[in-house]
Amino acid sequence: MSGGLGIGDWGLGTGGQGDKERNYNTDYQLPITNYQLPITHAQCPMPHAQ
């Protein structure tokens, strides 16, 4: 497995069922948000909530 897509790997592990498990994705994306720290900065509303 490539480390580059390591985060997205388990993030969308369902693959085809990713759309159906969109609701569950929010829970799975919790740890991913930590990795997306630089992206969170772009979204001011996100850091404000914290």
Question: 36: helix, coil or strand?
Answer: coil
Instruction: Give residue 34's pLDDT.
Output: 56
Name the residue range of residue 42's domain.
6-49
Residue pLDDT, tens place only, 3-50:
555 555 555 555 555 555 555 555 555 555 555 555 555 555 555 555
- Residue 14 located in a structural domain: yes
Instruction: Give residue 8's pLDDT.
Output: 53
- Residue 35 located in a structural domain: yes
Q: Taking the model in full, what pTM does it have?
A: 0.11
- Residue 1 located in a structural domain: no
Report yes or no: 39 and 47 within 8 Å, Cβ to Cβ: no
Number of domains forming the structure of the chain: 1
Instruction: Give residue 41's pLDDT.
Output: 52
Instruction: Give residue 45's pLDDT.
Output: 59
Instruction: Give residue 19's pLDDT.
Output: 56
